[in-house]
Amino acid sequence: RELAERAGIKASAVFVFSFGGVVFGTLNVYADETNVFMENEVALLKELAMNISFGLEFLAEVPKRS
């Protein structure tokens, strides 16, 4: 927390990339002001993380189809 404060980070949000029940990455978003992640922004970022997860899962399956 101290490091984030020194960097000017006042808010953060983390969105998980996963498939098959396994987490394989995250999207970390930071802001220099508080209360910036409102319901609409969070919903959009969750959807982005789900779409990235789906795309990476699809790409992982491509070699199995060949």
- Label each residue of the chain as H, E or C: CHHHHHCCCCEEEEEEEEECCEEEEEEEEEECCCCCCCHHHHHHHHHHHHHHHHHHHHHHHHHHHC
Tell which wins on pLDDT, 58 or 63.
58
Strand partners, 12: 30
Q: End-to-end CA distance of the chain, in Å?
A: 47
Q: Please, which pLDDT band fits residue 35 given cuts at 50, 70 and 90? A: very high
Instruction: Give pTM, 2 decimals.
Output: 0.78
Q: Put residue 58 in one of left, alpha, beta given phi > 0 → left and psi -120 to 50 → alpha.
A: alpha
Please state, rounded to an integer, the average pLDDT across all residues of the chain: 91
Q: Please, which pLDDT band fits residue 65 given cuts at 50, 70 and 90? A: confident
pLDDT for residue 5 is more than 90? no
Residue 10: the pLDDT is 95
